[in-house]
Amino acid sequence: MPTDVRISIIYYSLTGTVAEIAREMAETAEKEGAEVRLRKVPDAASATEKAAAPAGAAPAGDTVEVPVACVDDLLWADGVLLGSPTRFGNIAGPLKSFLDSLGGAWQKQQLADKVYSGFTATGSLHGGQESTLLALMTSFHHFGGVVVAPGYTSPEKFADGNPYGTAHCTEDRTRPVDDTTRTAARIQAARVVRFARAITAA
């Protein structure tokens, strides 16, 4: 399949959950024929971040082999998947800082007319998955993006239960990313590739 569409998957992850979902999405997007950039937003390394990390867990999120995201990773892409852990029901600070660095590109309309979609992870089931995903979508609207949510577009989507985006509940770090979440990630990534491809062809 020709690589006729470009997808950037940009995430922040402290303990590796969001990074794991991002990797699953990157593999799927490549299988769907996209050229893919997998990028991380660096750890702010604040005292709070370090205190919040379980002992020895920081390197899981800070995957050294993944390049650091920059503005060009959005400019280059036809479709963008953005992932953040849920923090107090919202986007984590490091990813929000990255979004806040996009003002110049936004001003020049360079973020518009692309497909955008979001994903997240929480510690608890009702800890704010939807509020984080909707917060990401708020920015997508400001960008002039085309928001592609997974919805319940396949029977498997009912298993993970979140139409706004892939969302994994770690149950306080006791539940690693499982098949249900991986399936949701694959469905979402394939859908983003499909719609981004349609936009580039339009």
For 98, which DSSP code? H
Strand, helix or coil for residue 159: helix
Residue nearest to ligand FMN (CB): 127
Query: In 10 A of CB 144, how many CB atoms?
Result: 14
**128 near ligand FMN, judged by CB under 6 A:** yes
**170 near ligand FMN, judged by CB under 6 A:** yes
Question: Residue 127 CB, nearest distance to ligand FMN (Å)?
Answer: 2
Contact 119, 49 (CB under 8 A): no
Question: Binding ligand FMN by CB under 6 A: which of 15, 28, 162, 188?
Answer: 15
Contact 177, 168 (CB under 8 A): yes
Contact 13, 61 (CB under 8 A): yes
Stretch 79-108 residues interacting with ligand FMN (CB under 6 A): 85-89
Query: Which of these segments, 1-9, 17-25, 29-37, 64-72, binds ligand FMN (CB under 6 A)?
Result: 17-25
Question: Residue 159 CB, nearest distance to ligand FMN (Å)?
Answer: 19
